[in-house]
Chains A and B, each alone.
Chain A
């Protein structure tokens, strides 16, 4: 199992960088998109994927141990929580009568 020690660190670097890229895309989406219904896509989709990549990179860096299992637990929890919160917030916005953005508002 020599090769995995060689591959591990560069793979972790690449995964964290890709994750940061997705997080930057999510931040741009949060800043630039016009209303809550579109922004929720940036927060729930791109943000979760970026967190997935960063956490996978950190888990790879940690190696096989209890820490790996706990980082994966954080990952699963984030993947359950983030879309659920975005869905709840958007549902609350919809039920309180917030109108979606349309071309006339631009």
Chain B
């Protein structure tokens, strides 16, 4: 009983994280403003970082995946920062596109 629960736990966590990213993906696709999309992408990157570490734990290779997660977190910071600064400079151009 305990063994089967442990065997099902990590794939269950992976599936849960994937489904949660789908919720954020809905927000990215639907909008309604461009800021919602940026925020949704930020949420998806958080889920992907967690998913990378969970996959590493499942394969007993965390020491490799944790470096990838670290790099992805930094990439997320730079990308979102650039987009946010760009949108801020655009002013009213992107206001309420619904």
- Report which A residues bind B (CB closer than 8 A): 13, 16, 20, 23-24, 26-28, 30-31, 36, 39-40, 43, 47-48, 51, 54-55, 58, 61-62, 66-67, 70-71, 73-74, 77-78, 81-82, 84-86, 88-93, 95-99
Residue of B nearest to A26 (CB): B43
Residue of B nearest to A37 (CB): B35
Instruction: Please give the number of chain B residues whose Cβ is less than 8 angstroms from any Cβ of chain A in the complex.
Output: 47
Contacts between chains A and B (CB distance < 8 A), count: 141
- Docked CA distance A89–B23 (Å): 19
Interface assignment of B20: CB less than 8 Å from any CB of chain A: yes
A85 surroundings in chain B (CB, below 8 A) = 38-39, 42, 76-77, 80-81, 84
The answer to whether A74 and B36 touch (CB under 8 A), given A92-B84, A92-B87, is no
A84 surroundings in chain B (CB, below 8 A) = 77
Residue of B nearest to A69 (CB): B66
- Docked CA distance A71–B73 (Å): 12
